[in-house]
C-alpha cells in the first residue's frame, strides 16, 4: 500500500502525537503538509517530517485554498476552532480525522456531521481514542460475546487526577468554559461515548449534579495569604498543587514531554522558572480565572432499560479509569489494564491482560507499538489510515452519527446539571 498522505492542522500536543505514528509506521502514512501559526511548534514538525516548504502554512485557510494535495487532514486545533476547518476541508473532499470534542455547541456539531455526510464519499472519524485501545477492544469483545450476559448497569469512574486537573482544567487551556468548553464535554465526552460504545445502545435520558468545589478563591488556605503565584507563596511547600514543585520535579527528572512542554518551549531551569513567574501555569490554583467543575456525576438511562452511573472527579491520584459492568450472568471489573470477569454460575474469576503480549513484543522490538492514551492514539490512526486506504468507513469506530449521538448526550447531561432536572436526549434533536 502507498503511504496515506496527511495534512496536519495544528502542531500542538495532539498534532504532534498523531504525527508520531508516521515515524513508527512510515510505510502506512506520512505527513506532507502542516498549518500552524506558532513558529516553534511549526518548525519542529517541519524538521522532523521534512515537509516541503510549499506545503507549510501559518493558517489552515491557506492550505484549504489550494487544490487538494493530501489524502486526509488531521484537525487538532482547539475545541472552538474545529468547525470551520472541518467544514472547509470536507467540502474540499479531504478525509478527516477530527479531534474531540467536535465543537463546543450543538449547532456546530450538527453542521460538521451534516457537511461530512452531504459531501458523501469521505472518511470521517472523531478522535474518541478510548474506543481504539487494546483494553477497550477486549472489554467490548467479552461483552459482545455474552460472557456476563446482558448488561444491566455500569459504574464508570474517571479519576482525572489532582495535578492533571490543576494543569489542564484550573491553570491551563480547558479551565474556562467561554474560552474552550464545559468540563463534561472537554474531558468526559470520551467516557459518555465509551459507555455508549460498550452498551451498544443510544442513551435516552440523563440527570446530573456537579460543581466547582475546590479550585476557587473561597477554598484558598488562609496560610497562602494574598500570594497569586506559587513562586511567591509562603504556603507553597505544604500545598499539593504547587506548580513550582510539580514542573521543576518533571524538569529535574528530564520528563521534557507533556505536560512540561505545554508550559514553555525553553526547557532549561531558567525557562521553566520564567514560565512559572509570568505564564498561566505558575498561578495559584485558588487564584485562576477557571470556572469548569471539578466533580460531576451523571446518571444515564439507555433505550433497552440499562443504566449507567458516571463520576468525573479531580481529587484523585493520577490513574486509569475504573469500570464495573453488571450483567445478567456475571460481573466485569476493569481498571484500564486488567479485566476480571466473575461468572455467577461457576463462581470462577477469569483475568485478562490485553497489554501483556503487546508489551512483550514491543520490548523485544525495542519500540512503543501503540502511542499514548493506552494505545488509543496509534489505535485510532491504524483504523483511520486503513479506512482511508481501503475507502471503507466501517473501519472507523467513531463515525459521524454515533459521535453526534454521544456528543448530544453530553450536552443533555450538562443541561440536566444546570437546570437541575432530567433531560431526554431527544430534546437536543429538536
Ligand X SMILES: NC(=O)c1ccc[n+]([C@@H]2O[C@H](COP(=O)([O-])OP(=O)(O)OC[C@H]3O[C@@H](n4cnc5c(N)ncnc54)[C@H](O)[C@@H]3O)[C@@H](O)[C@H]2O)c1
User: Does 127 engage in binding with ligand X (CB under 6 A)?
Assistant: yes
Coil, strand or helix: which one is 206? strand
Q: Judging by DSSP bridges, how do beta strands 322-327 and 151-159 pair with one another?
A: antiparallel
Cell of 328: 445478567
Segment interacting with ligand X (CB under 6 A) among 78-86, 216-224, 276-284, 289-297: 78-86
Residues 6+ apart with CB under 8 A from 426: 204
Segment interacting with ligand X (CB under 6 A) among 72-80, 191-199, 209-217, 382-390: 72-80
d(CA 138, CA 271): 43
User: Does 257 engage in binding with ligand X (CB under 6 A)?
Assistant: no
Cell of 29: 502514512
Shortest Å distance, C-beta 247 to ligand X: 16
- Find out whether 101 and 398 touch, Cβ atoms under 8 Å: no
Segment interacting with ligand X (CB under 6 A) among 10-18, 278-286, 339-347, 348-356: 10-18
Cell of 106: 450543538
Shortest Å distance, C-beta 190 to ligand X: 6
Q: What share of the chain is helix, strand, coil (3-state, %, to 5)?
A: 45, 20, 35
- Find out whether 87 and 81 touch, Cβ atoms under 8 Å: no
Question: Taking CB under 6 A as the criterion, which residues in 156-185 touch ligand X?
Answer: 173
Among positions 14, 171, 196, 407, the unique one binding ligand X when judged by CB under 6 A = 14
User: Does 13 engage in binding with ligand X (CB under 6 A)?
Assistant: yes
Segment interacting with ligand X (CB under 6 A) among 37-45, 264-272, 293-301, 391-399: 37-45
Shortest Å distance, C-beta 370 to ligand X: 14
d(CA 51, CA 75): 17
d(CA 236, CA 277): 14
Contacts with ligand X by CB under 6 A: the residue count is 26
**Alpha helix positions (H), 66-188:** 83-91, 106-119, 134-144, 162-164, 183-186
Residues 6+ apart with CB under 8 A from 274: 264, 266
User: Does 86 engage in binding with ligand X (CB under 6 A)?
Assistant: no
Segment interacting with ligand X (CB under 6 A) among 77-85, 135-143, 155-163, 385-393: 77-85
Shortest Å distance, C-beta 237 to ligand X: 30
d(CA 295, CA 158): 10
Among positions 4, 11, 276, 288, the unique one binding ligand X when judged by CB under 6 A = 11
Shortest Å distance, C-beta 188 to ligand X: 11
CB-wise, 95 or 99, nearer to ligand X? 99
User: Does 76 engage in binding with ligand X (CB under 6 A)?
Assistant: yes
Q: Which residues bind ligand X (CB under 6 A)?
A: 9-15, 35-38, 41, 59-60, 76-79, 81, 99-100, 127, 129, 173, 186, 373
Amino acid at each position: 500500500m502507498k503511504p496515506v498522505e496527511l495534512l496536519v492542522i495544528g502542531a500542538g500536543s495532539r498534532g504532534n502525537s498523531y504525527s508520531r505514528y508516521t515515524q513508527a509506521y512510515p510505510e502506512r502514512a506520512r505527513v506532507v503538509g502542516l498549518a500552524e501559526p506558532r513558529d516553534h511548534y511549526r518548525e519542529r514538525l517541519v524538521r522532523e517530517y521534512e515537509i516541503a516548504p510549499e506545503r507549510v502554512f501559518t493558517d489552515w485557510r491557506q492550505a484549504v485554498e489550494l487544490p487538494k494535495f493530501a489524502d486526509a487532514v488531521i484537525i487538532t486545533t482547539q475545541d472552538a476552532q474545529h468547525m470551520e476547518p472541518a467544514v472547509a476541508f470536507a467540502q474540499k473532499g479531504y478525509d478527516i480525522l477530527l479531534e474531540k470534542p467536535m465543537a463546543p455547541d450543538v449547532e456546530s456539531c450538527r453542521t460538521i456531521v451534516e457537511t461530512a455526510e452531504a459531501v458523501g464519499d469521505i472518511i470521517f472519524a472523531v478522535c474518541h481514542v478510548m474506543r481504539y485501545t487494546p483494553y477497550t477492544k477486549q472489554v467490548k469483545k467479552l461483552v459482545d460475546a455474552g460472557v456476563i450476559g446482558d448488561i444491566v448497569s455500569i459504574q464508570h469512574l474517571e479519576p482525572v487526577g489532582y495535578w492533571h486537573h490543576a494543569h489542564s482544567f484550573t491553570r491551563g487551556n480547558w479551565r474556562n468554559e467561554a474560552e474552550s468548553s464545559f468540563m463534561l464535554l472537554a474531558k468526559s465526552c470520551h467516557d459518555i461515548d465509551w459507555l455508549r460504545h460498550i452498551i451498544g445502545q443510544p442513551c435516552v435520558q440523563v440527570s446530573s449534579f456537579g460543581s466547582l468545589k475546590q479550585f476557587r478563591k473561597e477554598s484558598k488556605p488562609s496560610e497562602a495569604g494574598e500570594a497569586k503565584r506559587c513562586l511567591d507563596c509562603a504556603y507553597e511547600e505544604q500545598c499539593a498543587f504547587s506548580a513550582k514543585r510539580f514542573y521543576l520535579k518533571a524538569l529535574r527528572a528530564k520528563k521534557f514531554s507533556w505536560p512540561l512542554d505545554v508550559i514553555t518551549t525553553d526547557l532549561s531551569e531558567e525557562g521553566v522558572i520564567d514560565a512559572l513567574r509570568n505564564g498561566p501555569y505558575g498561578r495559584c490554583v485558588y487564584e485562576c480565572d477557571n470556572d469548569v467543575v471539578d466533580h460531576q456525576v451523571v446518571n444515564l438511562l439507555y433505550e433497552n432499560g440499562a443504566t449507567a452511573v458516571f463520576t468525573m472527579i479531580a481529587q484523585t491520584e493520577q490513574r486509569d479509569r475504573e469500570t464495573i459492568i453488571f450483567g445478567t450472568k456475571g460481573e466485569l471489573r476493569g481498571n484500564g489494564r486488567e479485566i476480571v470477569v466473575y461468572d455467577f454460575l461457576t463462581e470462577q474469576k477469569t483475568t485478562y491482560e490485553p497489554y501483556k503480549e503487546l508489551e512483550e513484543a514491543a520490548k523485544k522490538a525495542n519500540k512503543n507499538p501503540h502511542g499514548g492514551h493506552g494505545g488509543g492514539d496509534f489505535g485510532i490512526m491504524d483504523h483511520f489510515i486503513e479506512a482511508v486506504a481501503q475507502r471503507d468507513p466501517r473501519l472507523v469506530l467513531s463515525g459521524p452519527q454515533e459521535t453526534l449521538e454521544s456528543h448530544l448526550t453530553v450536552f443533555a447531561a450538562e443541561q440536566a446539571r444546570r437546570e437541575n432536572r432530567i433531560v431526554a436526549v431527544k430534546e437536543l434533536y429538536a
